[in-house]
Structure 1
Amino acid sequence: MEINSFLTKLSASPLRVIDASISLNEYVPISISSKNKDLNFDVSSSSEWETYLSNFLKENTAKVAFGGYLEERDIYNRSGYFNSEENQRNIHLGIDLWCNAKTNVLAVLDGEIHSFKNNNNFGDYGPTIILKHKVEDVTFYSLYGHLSTESIQNIKIGNNVKAGEKIAALGNSTVNGDYAPHLHFQLILNMEDYSGDYPGVSSKEKLPFYKQNCPNPNSLLKLPNEI
């Protein structure tokens, strides 16, 4: 079975992972790759990122900037968490949706809470929730990172959730790993031994495995003109 085709066929219409009241017409693709020459500011500063993203959204008359699947990024160079291995991890395995802190985060499909955790390393996810889904005997997982601390305070492993149900809210830079507010949304086939966490960035050497194990989230989101 080709997993991206399977995921694409789960819904004819786009599935939502943030506030459904925001029209898809108010989404705009963005690149934060090492090739984007507009990133001529201090990329280690979350406040400068917030200024850049605010201006980008305003210029594009948008409320959400999205993209980043398999994007090679320099932003991770600021954190030793991503550079402690022999092989640098800088290839992004999910889709980011950049928007305001406190934006509602929604379950992409019916499922249950697999695990949750506050991954509070500098540059990490911060509060994170992982859902488990089973559709037509296929089990897979969805990860929601950079949440508010309140999002993981009153939930339990095994709790059922419905597609489109609010499961969390986005955190700000003080709790989300020191980033401008955004949702990191990622799909995972094999969770391996992880709980409340899973690598969201890969080295070039390990990319063949992660590309297969973390299919393109846009198979579900169906956002147009993804970069």
Structure 2
Amino acid sequence: MQDFTEELLKLKEHFSLQKKVPMIELPANYPVLDLSNGPVDLDANVFAVAKYAEHRPGQYISEIYNNDRDFHIGLDIIAPVSTDVFAPYTMKILETAYLPADKDYGHCLLGQILWPGRDLFILVGHLAKDVLALGKEKTVLEQGERFAKIGSEAENGGWFPHIHVQFSFLKPEKCDMPGVIRKEDNPYWKSQYPDPRILLGELYRE
């Protein structure tokens, strides 16, 4: 296991000075969800944010989680089906894929953020199926470029409509990242998978 604490400090310094572009255009007063006590009922038209580094017991019961991974290390942005999704920074498209297992990512995109530091990767999950064609048509996304839409439950892995956004200093072998972990298995999770707010802005406060 690798500790990327030094790289994380450089990341914070660099992106504190960079222009932020929202991945989803949120209304002025959106709720910040607390999912530590289980799922919440949401209206289909709601815009909201759900937290990074949150213990979510009882939510990841699909076989792919082995009933023991429930610590969420991405950030969720909830929005209605077909809402546009924009590139937060200029990035290379490495892969698009469809992960069909129940409660997996469904349609997703793996990219590499272009910045002066160590390689940094981004996974965006739970997208509409149109993103698959994007991977064949383009190799680079410009900051602010629309690249996908929010997927429906039928195409996003069986979830309420949202995107899962996760960053990693570790290069994934495929279009996938461990969105939830057993916290005790990895003492370096916080530096390996940086808080998305470092790059996306302060979408919520603790």
Query: TM-score, structure 1 length as denominator?
Result: 0.79
Give 1:196 shift. Answer: 1.0
Partner-residue secondary structure (3-state), 2:119: strand
Q: 2:195 aligns with which of 209, 216, 220?
A: 216
Counterpart of 1:32 in structure 2 is 35
Tell me, in whole angstroms, the C-alpha distance in 2 between the residues paired with 1:216 and 1:77: 21
Give 1:170 shift. Answer: 0.8
Tell me, in whole angstroms, the C-alpha distance in 1 between the residues paired with 2:163 and 2:118: 25
Identity across the alignment (%): 25
Distance 1:220 1:92, change over 3 A: same
Contact 2:10/2:117 (CA < 8 Å) preserved in 1?
A: no
Counterpart of 1:15 in structure 2 is 21
Give 1:9 shift. Answer: 3.5
Counterpart of 2:3 in structure 1 is none
Give 1:129 shift. Answer: 0.1
Distance 1:154 1:162, change over 3 A: closer
Within 5 Å, give how 1:112-127 maps onto structure 2.
Answer: 112-127=92-107
Q: 1:99 aligns with which of 79, 98, 102?
A: 79
Which residue type is aligned with residue 29 of structure 2?
E
Tell me, in whole angstroms, the C-alpha distance in 1 between the residues paired with 2:200 and 2:64: 29
Contact 1:13/1:222 (CA < 8 Å) preserved in 2?
A: no
Counterpart of 2:43 in structure 1 is 54
Query: TM-score, structure 2 length as denominator?
Result: 0.86
Distance 1:78 1:116, change over 3 A: same
Query: Larger % of helix: which?
Result: 1
Question: Given the alignment of the two structures, is residue 65 of structure 1 paired with residue 48 of structure 2, yes or no?
Answer: yes
Question: Given the alignment of the two structures, is residue 3 of structure 1 paired with residue 1 of structure 2, yes or no?
Answer: no
Moved more, 67-76 or 103-112: 67-76
Counterpart of 1:46 in structure 2 is none
Distance 1:150 1:225, change over 3 A: closer
Distance 1:168 1:100, change over 3 A: same
Distance 1:99 1:208, change over 3 A: same
Contact 1:66/1:226 (CA < 8 Å) preserved in 2?
A: no
Partner-residue secondary structure (3-state), 1:196: coil
Contact 1:113/1:156 (CA < 8 Å) preserved in 2?
A: no
Which residue type is aligned with residue 128 of structure 1?
C
The unaligned stretches of length 5 or more in structure 1 are 44-48, 58-62
Counterpart of 2:135 in structure 1 is 155
Partner-residue secondary structure (3-state), 1:205: helix
Contact 1:67/1:95 (CA < 8 Å) preserved in 2?
A: yes
Question: Given the alignment of the two structures, is residue 195 of structure 1 paired with residue 174 of structure 2, yes or no?
Answer: yes
Counterpart of 2:111 in structure 1 is 131
Matched positions, count: 200
Q: 2:185 aligns with which of 197, 206, 211?
A: 206
Within 5 Å, give how 1:165-184 maps onto structure 2.
Answer: 165-184=145-164
Tell me, in whole angstroms, the C-alpha distance in 1 between the residues paired with 2:118 and 2:54: 27
